[in-house]
Each structure stands twice: as C-alpha cells, then as structure tokens.
Amino acid sequence: ANVLVGEAAEVDGNLVSVDAGDLRVWGLGEATIGSSARAMFGGETVTILPSGSGVGSARNSWTGRIRAVRRLGRLLEVVIDVGHPVVAIVTPGAAEALDMASGAEVVVSVKATAVRVVGGD
C-alpha cells in the first residue's frame, strides 16, 4: 500500500487534497485544512503510462522514474520515484508492453476515488 503523509490543503466537496512535500494528492475523506493527513491507496489502483501520455479523468497524475521492478508471485511490483516512492502492481504483460525498466520516465496516475484521506496523526 502507498501511504503519503502531509498536510490537508484543500477541500472540494467530498475530496480532500494532501500536500506531501512537492506532491499533491486528492482523495475521498475528511480532514481539517492545515492539519496532518495521510493519503492511502493500493498499488493495484496505480496506472503507469509512457512519459508524455494524457491521464484521462484521473485527478492525481505525476511524472517520475522507475526505480525498481520486482517479481511478486505472478505479478510485478514497480517502484516509481515521483518525489515520494509510489508502488504499482502490474502484470508481466503490461510491464513488457510499456518496456518498464529501471530509470525509465513514466506518468503515474491514480483516480481520486481510489485514494482514502485520513486526518490526524
């Protein structure tokens, strides 16, 4: 699971943004603006696209570099540095189709509805 810790920065309806350093993450939840908050999402919710790709309707989109690709049973765990490490779980076919290799620049996206924001310590 991915857990990014930061400060609640903005509220837009049911969505809350968390500023974790230079990274802004939007998700569902409740937090008081200015308070500490965590944004959590599973690796299976992360989409990896070639650098320069559009991201569709995903509110969270970051450019980064692949730092590691590890076998996880019949799947692969891909670690992408977007200012924070983000873990994605992909199939070997997806990794091959996107030519995922350490050092490659990619776009990472996660729909805000897949992120849970929790306020407090």
Are residues 78 and 69 in contact, defined by beta-carbon separation less than 8 angstroms? yes
| Enclosing domain of residue 12 | 2-119
Mean of all residue pLDDT scores within the chain: 93
pLDDT digits (tens, 9 = 90+) for 79-114: 999 999 999 999 999 998 888 889 999 999 999 999
CATH classification of the domain holding 65: 2.40.50.100
Structural contact between residues 115 and 28, judged by C-beta atoms closer than 8 angstroms: yes
Residues 103/27, Cβ–Cβ less than 8 Å: no
- pLDDT surpasses 70 at 22: yes
- How far CA 87 is from CA of 15, 40, 99, in Å, comes to 22, 11, 17
| Per-residue pLDDT tens digits for 36-47 | 999 999 999 999
Total count of domains within the chain: 1
Q: How confident is the model at residue 53 (pLDDT cuts 50, 70, 90)?
A: confident
Average pLDDT score over residue span 4-27: 96
pLDDT class of 52 with cuts at 50, 70, 90 = confident
B/e letters for 6-26, b = 16+ CB within 10 Å, e = fewer, are bbbbeeeeebbbbbbeebbbb
